[in-house]
């Protein structure tokens, strides 16, 4: 094809008149690439070209790349930066069996079964699972509860991604041989966010769906009999939401020495703690998406304040409350973690129009529910 001819199935260069001057086109690994010079600012360019490419099954992004050229007079290599419109095929379907997702899910089922068996006291250590594999099956109520909360949380994101036509992966569960048996679950957002509405809907669906299941799990666990205190050197403190659910059902959450709540209650605690952490309003966390959708670019200011707030909380616990080191370290760790999130920033919608009032109110309610899942000292290690 000629340098200025459109790639196969791509819009012709004439369609970009007044927006982008095309000098060369190419196809690379299924991507359509238009090289040239923007005639308007990048945000306006992407907004104008987005529907043109979307109608033909592509998502477009303006990027730049270095290109070395030899000066015809001196023969010296000169690095030049050129602009590229990169159009990627748009897809929201699942291509074949997601074997990686399946493998990680099965490993997480195993790791949460082991964690649950430890809470029920049928094994004392992870190594005991190798000696008596059948004892691990006793942990199934805890494993089912934890995986249900995490799975519904991520499937909430996935369902709204599909609804809005944004490409996203199925959930990836993360196995880990700790007292929970997992580091949670994530989905990969491969598509771009068309609008603040889309960003909000996808961001809010996970925490709300997961929290509903966490509350149901907690209510079920409160109705189950207590168990002997397992040989795990950790004590959990309950957020307001767990305390309110206990008051609502008239069930205790504190037992005499030697006994503790059913591990299913602990699974509900895990779900609420995960909900709070996800709602921290910074970067690519769910809370960061919500704030970006609700207040626009001012989210950068909020995101910059979050690490400072977490460091301040750690200092308060250490100097005023004289809390255990593990609580202080937890919030210092998350302070550093959120600094990285703040630097990376949240997703940027193509169309940055203000969010409607109903969604803003729902966002405020969601953050309020997140606060009910918070406790300054979530757990204490009995070392």
Q: Where are the domains of the chain?
A: 13-89, 99-381
Helix, strand, coil percentages, rounded to 5, for the chain: 50, 15, 30
pTM: 0.88
The pLDDT of residue 367 is above 80? yes
> What are the pLDDT digits (tens) for 288-313?
999 999 999 888 889 899 999 999 99
CATH code for the domain defined by 13-89: 3.30.70
Task: List, in sequence order, every residue forming a beta bridge with 33; answer none if it has no partner.
Answer: 26, 86
DSSP 39-106: SS-HHHHHHHHHHHHHTTTEEEEEEEEEEEEE-TTT--EEEEEEEEEEEEE---S--S--HHHHHHHH
More confident residue, 67 or 332: 332
Rounded to 10 degrees, the C-alpha dihedral 111/109/272/266 comes to -60
> What are the pLDDT digits (tens) for 75-112?
555 556 789 988 888 876 676 788 899 999 999 999 99
pLDDT of residue 23: 87
CA distances from 155 to 203, 217, 238, 347 (A): 12, 17, 26, 19
CB burial of 1-31 (b: ≥16 within 10 Å; e: otherwise) equals eeebebbeebbebeebeebbbbeebeeeeee
Say if residues 206 and 286 touch (Cβ distance below 8 Å): yes
More confident residue, 28 or 382: 28
């Amino acid at each position: 094809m000629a340098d200025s001819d459109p790639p196969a199935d791509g819009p012709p260069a004439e369609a970009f008149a007044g927006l982008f001057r095309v000098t060369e086109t190419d196809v690379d690994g299924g991507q359509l690439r238009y090289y040239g010079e923007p005639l308007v600012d990048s945000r306006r360019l992407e907004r104008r070209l987005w529907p043109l490419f979307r109608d033909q099954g592509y998502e477009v992004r303006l990027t730049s790349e270095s290109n070395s050229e030899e000066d015809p007079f001196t023969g010296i290599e000169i690095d030049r930066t050129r602009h590229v419109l990169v159009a990627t095929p748009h897809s929201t379907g699942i291509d074949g069996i997601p074997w990686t997702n399946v493998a990680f899910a099965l490993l997480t089922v195993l790791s949460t079964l082991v964690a649950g068996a430890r809470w029920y006291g049928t094994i004392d250590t992870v190594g005991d699972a190798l000696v008596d594999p059948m004892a691990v099956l006793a942990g199934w109520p805890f494993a089912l509860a934890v995986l249900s909360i995490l799975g519904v949380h991520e499937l909430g994101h996935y369902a709204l991604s599909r609804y809005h036509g944004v490409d996203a992966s199925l959930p990836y569960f993360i196995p880990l041989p700790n007292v929970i048996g997992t580091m949670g679950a994530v989905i990969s957002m491969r598509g771009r966010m068309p609008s603040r509405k889309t960003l909000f809907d996808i961001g809010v669906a996970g925490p709300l769906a997961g929290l509903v299941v966490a509350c149901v799990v907690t209510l079920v666990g409160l109705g189950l009999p207590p168990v002997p205190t397992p040989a795990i050197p950790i004590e959990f403190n309950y957020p307001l939401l767990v305390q309110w659910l206990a008051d609502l059902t008239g069930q205790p959450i504190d037992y005499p020495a030697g006994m503790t709540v059913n591990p299913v209650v602990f699974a509900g605690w895990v779900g609420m703690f995960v909900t709070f952490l996800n709602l921290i309003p910074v970067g690519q966390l769910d809370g960061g998406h919500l704030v970006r959708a609700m207040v626009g670019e001012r989210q950068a200011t909020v995101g910059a304040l979050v690490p400072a707030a977490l460091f301040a909380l750690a200092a308060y616990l250490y100097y005023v409350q004289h809390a255990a080191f593990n609580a202080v370290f937890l919030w210092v760790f998350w302070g550093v973690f959120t600094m990285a999130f703040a630097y990376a920033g949240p997703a940027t919608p193509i169309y940055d129009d203000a969010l409607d009032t109903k969604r803003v109110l729902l966002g405020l309610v969601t953050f309020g529910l997140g606060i009910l899942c918070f406790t300054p000292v979530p757990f204490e290690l009995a070392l």
